[in-house]
Amino acid sequence: MPIRALQFTLLLAVAALGTACHSTRTAYRPEPVSLATPAKPAQDDKRLYLALIAQMQQQGAYYASLAHVDAYRQRHGDSPALRLLQADALRATGQLPAARSLYVALANGPQAAAAWHGLGLIAVHEGDPAQAEQCLARAVTLEPLNTDYLGDLGFARLRAGQREQAREPLARAAELAPDKIQANANMALWALLSNETALAERILHSAGFPEATRQEVLRLAVELGPPAAASLSPERLADAHLASGSTP
């Protein structure tokens, strides 16, 4: 038999092995299975879908995320991580009783720190500083390196007029995340409210605040107490703003 014909015969034999479990009535061969990239297990699909929902929430699409929470639950079932995303979306859309119920149910499980954080934010929204302190402090105890929890605890204390108590969590957050704008903004706010004008100016110079963030810091300083912000002249504030590298 010629070599070319022999090669063709061998190829047919190998193909026949791959189709032994399929009907021989069709003349079409199935697509070959790649050995280099096996199919992703369902668990990967679940993680990717949860990550997509979380990303929607980071972009502010909370109502859309609620729709995807329902779709995920129909496709993959329920989980603590999914219920946490649902609770966060409910809180962000003003559905506080439903959000609170979910957070309470999660407060003793693997999502406990995030659940206590959510309960603390609800308490802040409802004007209950004692409850906010208790819940946010619990979240920080469970996850002491979470700069969002530290920042929210410190900010809640500022709103409650507890400036000295606010310093430690805010300073921890700023030092743990020196490049994080929100952590530096909270520290600048603390400095303005505590008459630490030089520190406030130094932060405003070095943190690279966007204009909107800088204005929000100053607005909150005026709102929350006797503002050291008033001692910053417009010229000095402009210098701080220009040093940040942003444009008015």
In a domain, 77, yes or no: yes
Residue 179 maps to a domain: no
Residue that the structure tokens 């929890």 belong to = 149
DSSP-assigned letter for residue 226: S
Closest CA relative to residue 92, chosen from 53, 122, 135: 122
**Tell me, what amino acid is at 103?**
Y
Structure token pair of residue 15: 């193909």
Nearest residue to 139 (alpha-carbon basis) of 122, 160, 162: 122
**Two structure tokens written together for 167:** 């310093």
In this structure, is residue 247 part of a structural domain? Answer: no
Q: State the amino acid at position 167 in one-letter form.
A: R
At CA 151, angle to CA 51 and CA 147, rounded to 5?
Answer: 50
Is 241 a member of any domain? Answer: no
H or E segment to which residue 181 belongs: helix 181-193
List per-residue pLDDT tens for the chain, 248 residues long.
544 443 434 333 433 334 444 443 444 444 444 434 444 556 678 999 999 999 999 999 999 999 999 999 999 999 999 999 999 999 999 999 999 999 999 999 999 999 999 999 999 999 999 999 999 999 999 999 999 999 999 999 999 999 999 999 999 999 999 999 999 999 999 999 999 989 998 888 886 788 888 889 999 999 997 644 445 544 444 443 333 333 33
Distance of CA 205 to the CA centre of its chain: 27
Domain encompassing residue 50: 44-93
Contact by Cβ (8 Å): 100, 71: no
Quick one: which H or E segment has residue 63?
Answer: helix 62-76
Total tally of structural domains belonging to the chain? 1
8: tokens are 């063709």
Asked if residue 83 belongs to a domain, the reply is yes
Q: Does residue 79 form part of some domain?
A: yes
Transcribe 73-100 into DSSP letters. Answer: HHHH---HHHHHHHHHHHHHTT-HHHHH
**Residue length, the chain?**
248
Domain assignment present for residue 105? The answer is no
Q: Is residue 163 part of a domain?
A: no
Query: Taking the CB of residue 46, how many other CB atoms lie within 10 A of it?
Result: 17
